[in-house]
Amino acid sequence: MTDKEYKKQVARVRKYLDKWQKPCGFGWWTIEVEYSRERDEDVAGTFAQCWSYWQYRSGTLRFFLPVVANCTDEQVEQNVLHELCHLIVSPLENFDSKEKRQITEYTTTLVAEALYWAHTQVKKGRSNVKRTIKIKTPHEVKASEEHRDIRTESSEQIQETGIVSDATRGKSGK
């Protein structure tokens, strides 16, 4: 592979790494990226390899540029996202057998496809999400816990006194 071709393929991979690192939540991760001018010796069609040190939120991705060169841009994007998703699911990965490896690859692919779909829907303004996830501040968590404690105490008092209101029975009065 010539230097010119090497730079071209590195730029293609880098484009999608830059696109997906933030949406996938890797701002807290240290990801080393390596580029190989040669194919993987073990499996000639391997697009990339991933090593994750999830306990430390770090990992290494190695891309095999001769394989990258034979991919469309869409395939490069999907494969880059797939490799990033290996970092996400790495605590669950198990390569002890062929079946467990297939399950890991399947799970990684599903996560990548879900992220890709969600990202494209949001970009198109087609988000049909009815509920949003709100990350609570520590103050909100404490207030929520206090509210839950009050509801629990009220429920216990009702059980002790035997007082049941229409609100606790529901509208039907049963």
What share of the chain has pLDDT > 90, as a percent? 34
* Residue 78, pLDDT above cutoff 80: yes
Residue 154 maps to a domain: yes
Residue 46 maps to a domain: yes
Structure tokens at 96: 């002890």
CATH code for the domain in which residue 90 is found: 3.30.2010
Mean pLDDT taken over the chain = 78
How far is residue 38 CA from its own chain's centroid?
A: 29
* Residue 97, pLDDT above cutoff 90: no
Residue 131 maps to a domain: no
For the chain, the domain total comes to 2
Partners of 39 in the β-ladder: none
Which residue's structure tokens are 């035997």? 162
Residue 133 maps to a domain: no
* Residue 129, pLDDT above cutoff 80: no
* Residue 56, pLDDT above cutoff 60: yes
For residues 63-80, average pLDDT = 94
Global pTM value:
0.67
Residues 81 and 148 in one domain: no
